[in-house]
Amino acid sequence: MDNSFISDMNIFNNNISFLIKLRAKPQILEIIEKKHLDEISEEISIEDKRNDLIIWNAMYTREIVGNGILTKYLHPIYNKFYTLIPSLNTLKELQELEIKMIDTYINLLINDVEVKDNFVINRILKHLHLNIESQISLKKLATDLNLSEGYISECFKKHMGITIMKYAKKIRIDRAKVLLVTTTTSILEISLILGFHDQSHFHKVFKAFTGASPSEYRNNNFG
Protein backbone atom coordinates (compact mmCIF):
# COMPACT_ATOMS: atom_id res chain seq x y z
CA MET A 1 0.00 0.00 0.00
CA ASP A 2 1.32 3.46 -0.92
CA ASN A 3 1.48 5.52 2.28
CA SER A 4 2.52 8.78 0.61
CA PHE A 5 0.49 11.85 1.50
CA ILE A 6 -2.40 12.47 -0.90
CA SER A 7 -3.04 16.19 -0.86
CA ASP A 8 -6.41 17.91 -0.66
CA MET A 9 -7.42 18.83 -4.23
CA ASN A 10 -8.87 22.13 -2.98
CA ILE A 11 -5.27 23.30 -2.67
CA PHE A 12 -4.95 23.27 -6.44
CA ASN A 13 -7.96 25.39 -7.39
CA ASN A 14 -8.98 28.95 -6.59
CA ASN A 15 -12.35 28.23 -4.96
CA ILE A 16 -11.21 28.62 -1.36
CA SER A 17 -9.10 31.69 -2.20
CA PHE A 18 -12.10 33.25 -3.96
CA LEU A 19 -14.44 32.52 -1.05
CA ILE A 20 -11.95 33.85 1.53
CA LYS A 21 -11.73 37.09 -0.42
CA LEU A 22 -15.52 37.36 -0.23
CA ARG A 23 -15.51 36.35 3.46
CA ALA A 24 -18.01 33.61 2.59
CA LYS A 25 -17.59 31.46 5.69
CA PRO A 26 -20.75 29.31 5.29
CA GLN A 27 -19.70 28.22 1.79
CA ILE A 28 -16.15 27.43 2.96
CA LEU A 29 -17.46 25.39 5.88
CA GLU A 30 -19.71 23.46 3.48
CA ILE A 31 -16.67 22.50 1.38
CA ILE A 32 -14.75 21.45 4.48
CA GLU A 33 -17.63 19.37 5.87
CA LYS A 34 -17.88 17.47 2.57
CA LYS A 35 -14.12 16.95 2.66
CA HIS A 36 -14.42 15.52 6.19
CA LEU A 37 -17.00 12.97 5.08
CA ASP A 38 -14.66 11.90 2.27
CA GLU A 39 -11.77 11.56 4.74
CA ILE A 40 -13.85 9.30 6.99
CA SER A 41 -14.97 7.21 4.02
CA GLU A 42 -11.40 6.88 2.71
CA GLU A 43 -10.01 6.24 6.22
CA ILE A 44 -7.31 8.88 5.86
CA SER A 45 -4.38 8.29 8.20
CA ILE A 46 -3.74 10.57 11.19
CA GLU A 47 -0.33 11.53 9.78
CA ASP A 48 -1.84 12.52 6.44
CA LYS A 49 -4.48 14.62 8.18
CA ARG A 50 -1.84 16.37 10.28
CA ASN A 51 0.12 17.15 7.11
CA ASP A 52 -3.06 18.43 5.47
CA LEU A 53 -3.71 20.85 8.34
CA ILE A 54 -0.11 22.07 8.41
CA ILE A 55 -0.42 22.95 4.71
CA TRP A 56 -3.79 24.65 5.15
CA ASN A 57 -2.61 26.59 8.19
CA ALA A 58 0.12 28.13 6.02
CA MET A 59 -2.25 28.71 3.10
CA TYR A 60 -4.91 30.39 5.26
CA THR A 61 -2.23 32.67 6.69
CA ARG A 62 -1.05 33.62 3.20
CA GLU A 63 -4.60 34.32 2.03
CA ILE A 64 -5.45 36.44 5.07
CA VAL A 65 -2.29 38.50 4.66
CA GLY A 66 -3.21 38.97 1.00
CA ASN A 67 -6.56 40.37 2.13
CA GLY A 68 -5.03 43.08 4.27
CA ILE A 69 -4.49 41.66 7.77
CA LEU A 70 -1.09 42.57 9.24
CA THR A 71 1.27 39.64 9.81
CA LYS A 72 1.89 40.69 13.43
CA TYR A 73 -1.72 39.76 14.22
CA LEU A 74 -1.40 36.41 12.46
CA HIS A 75 1.83 35.10 13.99
CA PRO A 76 0.31 34.06 17.36
CA ILE A 77 -2.67 32.41 15.62
CA TYR A 78 -0.51 30.55 13.11
CA ASN A 79 1.89 29.37 15.83
CA LYS A 80 -0.96 28.21 18.08
CA PHE A 81 -2.39 25.95 15.36
CA TYR A 82 1.06 24.80 14.18
CA THR A 83 1.86 23.66 17.73
CA LEU A 84 -1.54 22.08 18.33
CA ILE A 85 -1.73 19.97 15.15
CA PRO A 86 0.94 17.36 16.11
CA SER A 87 -0.58 16.97 19.59
CA LEU A 88 -3.93 15.62 18.36
CA ASN A 89 -4.26 11.88 17.82
CA THR A 90 -7.70 11.21 16.34
CA LEU A 91 -9.29 12.17 13.03
CA LYS A 92 -12.28 13.67 14.87
CA GLU A 93 -10.03 16.00 16.89
CA LEU A 94 -8.11 17.08 13.79
CA GLN A 95 -11.29 17.72 11.80
CA GLU A 96 -12.70 19.78 14.67
CA LEU A 97 -9.47 21.76 14.70
CA GLU A 98 -9.81 22.40 10.96
CA ILE A 99 -13.26 23.92 11.54
CA LYS A 100 -11.82 26.05 14.34
CA MET A 101 -8.96 27.17 12.06
CA ILE A 102 -11.18 28.48 9.27
CA ASP A 103 -13.58 29.99 11.80
CA THR A 104 -10.71 31.87 13.46
CA TYR A 105 -9.09 33.08 10.24
CA ILE A 106 -12.31 34.20 8.52
CA ASN A 107 -13.60 35.90 11.68
CA LEU A 108 -10.36 37.86 11.75
CA LEU A 109 -11.21 39.14 8.28
CA ILE A 110 -14.88 39.75 9.01
CA ASN A 111 -14.15 41.65 12.21
CA ASP A 112 -11.59 43.74 10.37
CA VAL A 113 -13.95 44.67 7.53
CA GLU A 114 -12.45 47.92 6.31
CA VAL A 115 -11.82 49.08 9.87
CA LYS A 116 -11.07 52.78 9.91
CA ASP A 117 -9.97 55.06 12.71
CA ASN A 118 -12.97 57.28 12.13
CA PHE A 119 -15.89 56.36 14.38
CA VAL A 120 -18.48 57.74 11.95
CA ILE A 121 -17.06 55.66 9.08
CA ASN A 122 -17.26 52.55 11.24
CA ARG A 123 -20.90 53.29 12.04
CA ILE A 124 -21.71 53.78 8.35
CA LEU A 125 -19.86 50.60 7.32
CA LYS A 126 -21.57 48.54 10.02
CA HIS A 127 -24.98 49.84 8.97
CA LEU A 128 -24.36 49.13 5.28
CA HIS A 129 -23.11 45.58 5.89
CA LEU A 130 -25.93 44.73 8.30
CA ASN A 131 -28.54 46.04 5.87
CA ILE A 132 -27.04 44.60 2.68
CA GLU A 133 -30.36 42.99 1.72
CA SER A 134 -32.37 46.20 2.08
CA GLN A 135 -32.81 49.11 -0.29
CA ILE A 136 -30.49 51.79 1.03
CA SER A 137 -30.97 55.52 0.56
CA LEU A 138 -28.72 58.31 1.76
CA LYS A 139 -31.69 59.93 3.50
CA LYS A 140 -32.63 56.78 5.44
CA LEU A 141 -29.00 56.13 6.37
CA ALA A 142 -28.59 59.67 7.71
CA THR A 143 -31.84 59.36 9.68
CA ASP A 144 -30.86 55.98 11.16
CA LEU A 145 -27.47 57.35 12.24
CA ASN A 146 -28.93 60.67 13.42
CA LEU A 147 -26.48 62.60 11.24
CA SER A 148 -26.89 64.95 8.28
CA GLU A 149 -26.74 63.62 4.71
CA GLY A 150 -24.09 66.18 3.79
CA TYR A 151 -21.84 65.25 6.70
CA ILE A 152 -21.90 61.47 6.19
CA SER A 153 -21.43 61.88 2.43
CA GLU A 154 -18.40 64.14 2.79
CA CYS A 155 -16.88 62.08 5.60
CA PHE A 156 -17.28 58.78 3.78
CA LYS A 157 -15.91 60.04 0.46
CA LYS A 158 -12.91 61.62 2.20
CA HIS A 159 -11.92 58.46 4.10
CA MET A 160 -13.04 55.74 1.69
CA GLY A 161 -12.45 57.39 -1.70
CA ILE A 162 -15.88 56.29 -2.91
CA THR A 163 -19.44 57.53 -2.43
CA ILE A 164 -21.69 55.82 0.09
CA MET A 165 -24.16 54.70 -2.55
CA LYS A 166 -21.48 53.27 -4.82
CA TYR A 167 -20.00 51.39 -1.87
CA ALA A 168 -23.46 50.05 -0.98
CA LYS A 169 -23.81 48.75 -4.53
CA LYS A 170 -20.33 47.23 -4.43
CA ILE A 171 -20.97 45.11 -1.33
CA ARG A 172 -24.31 43.94 -2.74
CA ILE A 173 -22.60 42.91 -5.97
CA ASP A 174 -19.93 41.08 -3.92
CA ARG A 175 -22.73 39.19 -2.15
CA ALA A 176 -24.39 38.50 -5.50
CA LYS A 177 -21.15 36.93 -6.77
CA VAL A 178 -21.19 34.47 -3.88
CA LEU A 179 -24.84 33.57 -4.44
CA LEU A 180 -24.31 33.14 -8.18
CA VAL A 181 -21.40 30.71 -7.87
CA THR A 182 -22.43 28.77 -4.75
CA THR A 183 -26.22 28.41 -5.16
CA THR A 184 -28.76 27.66 -7.89
CA THR A 185 -30.97 30.58 -6.80
CA SER A 186 -32.41 32.30 -9.85
CA ILE A 187 -30.95 35.61 -10.98
CA LEU A 188 -34.34 37.26 -10.49
CA GLU A 189 -34.53 36.01 -6.90
CA ILE A 190 -30.95 37.13 -6.17
CA SER A 191 -31.78 40.60 -7.48
CA LEU A 192 -34.83 40.77 -5.20
CA ILE A 193 -32.96 39.37 -2.18
CA LEU A 194 -30.37 42.12 -2.52
CA GLY A 195 -32.89 44.93 -2.82
CA PHE A 196 -32.57 45.83 -6.50
CA HIS A 197 -35.61 47.41 -8.16
CA ASP A 198 -35.84 44.63 -10.76
CA GLN A 199 -33.72 42.14 -12.68
CA SER A 200 -32.86 44.70 -15.38
CA HIS A 201 -31.48 47.11 -12.79
CA PHE A 202 -29.48 44.31 -11.15
CA HIS A 203 -28.09 43.25 -14.56
CA LYS A 204 -26.97 46.82 -15.32
CA VAL A 205 -25.27 47.39 -11.95
CA PHE A 206 -23.66 43.93 -11.92
CA LYS A 207 -22.17 44.41 -15.39
CA ALA A 208 -20.90 47.89 -14.46
CA PHE A 209 -18.93 46.40 -11.55
CA THR A 210 -17.76 43.11 -13.06
CA GLY A 211 -17.75 43.59 -16.83
CA ALA A 212 -20.03 40.56 -17.21
CA SER A 213 -23.73 39.91 -16.89
CA PRO A 214 -24.93 37.82 -13.92
CA SER A 215 -25.60 34.83 -16.19
CA GLU A 216 -22.17 35.11 -17.84
CA TYR A 217 -20.51 35.35 -14.43
CA ARG A 218 -22.37 32.28 -13.15
CA ASN A 219 -21.56 30.25 -16.28
CA ASN A 220 -17.87 31.13 -16.06
CA ASN A 221 -17.47 30.46 -12.32
CA PHE A 222 -20.17 28.04 -11.14
CA GLY A 223 -19.22 24.66 -9.82
Q: Tens digit of pLDDT for each residue in 160-213?
A: 899 999 999 999 999 999 899 989 999 999 999 998 888 999 999 999 999 999
Confirm whether 1 is domain-assigned.
Answer: no
Q: Which domain holds residue 160?
A: 119-221
> Is a pLDDT exceeding 60 seen at residue 4?
no
* Predicted pLDDT at 131: 87
Looking at the structure, tell me whether residues 37 and 103 fall in a common domain.
yes
Average model confidence (pLDDT) across the chain: 86
Please report whether residue 4 resides in a domain: no
Same domain, 123 and 212: yes
Confidence grade of residue 71 (pLDDT, cut at 50, 70, 90) = confident
Q: Is the same domain home to 143 and 99? A: no
pLDDT band at 58 (very low <50, low <70, confident <90, very high): very high
Q: Are 6 and 48 in contact (CB under 8 A)?
A: yes
The predicted structure's pLDDT at residue 116: 47
Between 22 and 60, whose confidence is greater?
60
Provide the domain count of the chain: 2
Residue 2 domain-assigned (yes or no):
no
- CA atoms in the 13 A half-sphere facing the CB of 37: 5
Domain end call among 87, 111, 135: 111
Please indicate, yes or no, whether residues 103 and 129 belong to a single structural domain of this protein: no
Q: What is the mean pLDDT of residues 115-139?
A: 82
Pair (131, 71) in one structural domain = no
Residue that finishes a domain, picked among 90, 111, 132:
111
Q: Give per-residue pLDDT as tens, 145-155.
A: 999 999 999 98
Are 105 and 128 in the same domain?
A: no
CATH of the domain at 201: 1.10.10.60
Q: Are residues 20 and 99 in the same domain?
A: yes
Write the DSSP string, 186-203.
Answer: -HHHHHHHTT-SSHHHHH
Asked if pLDDT for residue 46 goes beyond 90, the answer is yes
Q: What is the pTM of this model?
A: 0.52
Question: Does 199 lie in the same domain as 131?
Answer: yes
pLDDT at position 7 is: 52
**94 closest CA partner among 48, 30, 31, 41:** 48
Alpha helices in the chain (DSSP H): 15-21, 25-42, 46-66, 71-84, 91-111, 119-130, 138-145, 149-160, 164-182, 187-193, 199-210, 214-221
Q: Are residues 95 and 128 in the same domain?
A: no
Return the amino acid letter for 18: F
pLDDT value of residue 142: 93
